[in-house]
Amino acid sequence: MTTNQIDNKVVVTGIGLISPLGTSKNTTWANLLSGTSGIDHIKAFDADAMETKIAAEVSEFDPIDYIDKKDARRMDRFVHFAIAASLEAVNQANLRIDSNNATRISVMISSGIGGIITLSEQMGVMSQKGPSRVSPFLIPMMLPDMASGQVSMVLGAKGPSFATVSACSSGADAIGQALSLIQTGITDVVIAGGAEAAICPIGIAGFNSCKALSKRNDEPQKASRPFDAGRDGFVLGEGSAILILENSSMAETRGATPIAELVGYGATSDAHHITQPAPEGEGGARAMQIALENANLSPNEVDYINAHGTSTPINDKFETSAMKTVFSEHAYKIPISSTKSMTGHLLGAGGALEAAISVMSINQGVIPPTINLETPDPDCDLDYTPHIPKRGRVRTAMSNSFGFGGHNASLLFKESK
């Protein structure tokens, strides 16, 4: 397809997941539906000195299963995750990249923090051994755009490649910007999503210092409890989620099977506070409304919302207010869930993971539950799908992501016809 043959319909043809619930799309999905928590005591380092000693880590992951050993040593963990998830997504989409299409295939994989593990390790090297011993690969390993860069090199994708950085909205914004790239004819396919790996001493200490993390160290699996009256903060997670997005004409031409259609994207800024959402979730409400208008859908047509639902006191309350603002009485009829109750919060990869979950909900006709919702907060009085999944047709799903700095993003997916 040439740039003057623009197809505005954008479909999802592949999904790849590396998450605290599994190192594949299918394993992650099965554990979501069973209500399994991926949260436990931190194993990556000795966390005894930390206020928070728990996290949602990716276990049984070996980058050598996906990347040459020498190359893997020159990449941060978040890039390992991105490559692994991208390979799974490309494989599901049966996408073959060669000289005929490489310049029309883009990569947009975001990270909120980038290579913080490498940066913190090399700070230690400099402190102990001097600046001359710092790795020459430090800078390319820590850059947030390097997930996109390395994936483009691994796969040979030569279209535009970059990363949006908008804190916890990064992955959702990457998918939203990918929608625009395809709809305007700049590219035909985007390998889009997010990757994050910030479970390290400075990462935990930093979030502890801003009072963001749960300290329920004695009950790790119950620590992430969105919309529950006893919630005390989010649990840091890691991983990557990748969607293959392409114009439907190309998908049809090459015989790909659409999983769902990406139909709407809304993004706003609170212009309010560096870490707290605007009162009553005003900015988030506007993002949802813009996404609905962008998709030409009415609020009553939304069958499921994957909430940002971090398990922090203010976010959950204000997100609930925002959904009531946008959906009015219909808000009480929409099944909502926060899958962060099981995966923890993947920061810049969170929006991509939850977008993928929303797509699978449409494709499989199942809404994952919110676990640990034992004592509902009176301010959070919507249907959050507690404890067990709901089965039934999901024609349209919304995924919300809100980030530090006042960033808000909302994505809308619907059944592909």
Mean of pLDDT over the chain: 96
Q: How confident is the model at residue 8 (pLDDT cuts 50, 70, 90)?
A: confident
Among 168, 200, 380, 407, the one annotated catalytic = 168
| Residue 2 confidence (pLDDT) | 38
Is 308 designated active site? yes
Strands 366-367 and 390-391, by their bridges, are antiparallel
The tokens describing 319, both together, are 């997100």
Task: Give the separation between CA 52 and CA 224, rounded to whole angstroms.
Answer: 12
Task: Give the separation between CA 166 and CA 149, rounded to whole angstroms.
Answer: 18
3-state DSSP call for residue 365? coil
| Residue 322 confidence (pLDDT) | 98
Domains of the chain: 10-253 (3.40.47.10), 265-414 (3.40.47.10)
| Residue 417 confidence (pLDDT) | 81
Q: What is the mean pLDDT of residues 4-25?
A: 88
pLDDT of 367-391, one tens digit each? Answer: 999 999 999 999 999 999 999 999 9
* DSSP 8-state assignment for residue 156: T
Q: How confident is the model at residue 1 (pLDDT cuts 50, 70, 90)?
A: very low
Q: What is the mean pLDDT of residues 90-94?
A: 98
Max Cα-Cα span within the chain: 63
| Residue 334 confidence (pLDDT) | 98
Q: Report which of 193, 172, 191, 185 is spatially closest to residue 244, judged by C-alpha positions.
A: 191
Task: Give the separation between CA 263 and CA 323, rounded to whole angstroms.
Answer: 19
| Residue 7 confidence (pLDDT) | 59
| Residue 3 confidence (pLDDT) | 40
Among 80, 200, 308, 380, the one annotated catalytic = 308
The tokens describing 271, both together, are 């212009």
pLDDT of 314-369, one tens digit each? Answer: 999 999 999 999 999 999 999 999 999 999 999 999 999 999 999 999 999 999 99
Is 380 designated active site? no
Among 41, 272, 330, 345, the one annotated catalytic = 345
Task: Give the separation between CA 351 and CA 95, rounded to whole angstroms.
Answer: 23
Q: How confident is the model at residue 110 (pLDDT cuts 50, 70, 90)?
A: very high
Q: What is the mean pLDDT of residues 107-135?
A: 97
| Residue 169 confidence (pLDDT) | 97
Is 273 designated active site? no
- Would the pLDDT of 254 be above 90? yes
Q: What is the mean pLDDT of residues 50-61?
A: 97
Count CB atoms within 10 A of the CB of residue 2.
8
Q: How confident is the model at residue 273 (pLDDT cuts 50, 70, 90)?
A: very high
CA-to-CA separations, 96 to 114, 177, 231, 251, in angstroms, rounded: 28, 23, 45, 12
